[in-house]
Amino acid sequence: MARVSRRSVLVLGLALLSPGCASKSSAERAGIDQEIARNILWRFHKDPTRFNDVRVACEDRVVTLEGRVSDARSASDALQIALSEARGGRVESRLEVRPR
């Protein structure tokens, strides 16, 4: 009898914990994407002369950088900033290096 009780408790415990392990809703994922993009933009705004023409989008934790920077160093720095804020997501750079 005690064995059945332990098994029942274990099954009940797992059933109660499983909703916490469920995947995030689309609204939660969109909120995370917005937060990632906002954090990257916030860091870009700290150096507006270098990143003024850079746009940031994030969808399904894939960050996309688009626009223009004046040199390769700025492109590299923009990529590093995005990678540091991407929370393990991917970063795609479509930046164009063109002197102003």
Question: Is the pLDDT confidence value at 38 over 60?
Answer: yes
How sure is the predictor about 43, in pLDDT bands with cuts at 50, 70 and 90?
A: very high
Q: What residues contact residue 21 under an 8 Å CB cut-off, 6+ apart?
A: none
pLDDT in tens, 50-59: 999 999 999 9
Region 11-21: mean pLDDT is 55
Tokens of 21: 């392990």
| For helices 26-45 and 72-85, angle between their N-to-C axes, nearest 10 degrees | 140
Reported pTM: 0.74
CA 44/CA 48 separation, integer angstroms? 6
Question: Is the pLDDT confidence value at 17 over 60?
Answer: no
CA 72/CA 95 separation, integer angstroms? 10
Q: In the 8-state DSSP scheme, what is residue 54?
A: E
Residue range 24-97 forms a domain whose CATH class is alpha beta
Question: Is the pLDDT confidence value at 76 over 70?
Answer: yes
Q: Are 81 and 39 in contact (CB under 8 A)?
A: no
- What's residue 94's pLDDT? 98
Question: Is the pLDDT confidence value at 21 over 70?
Answer: no
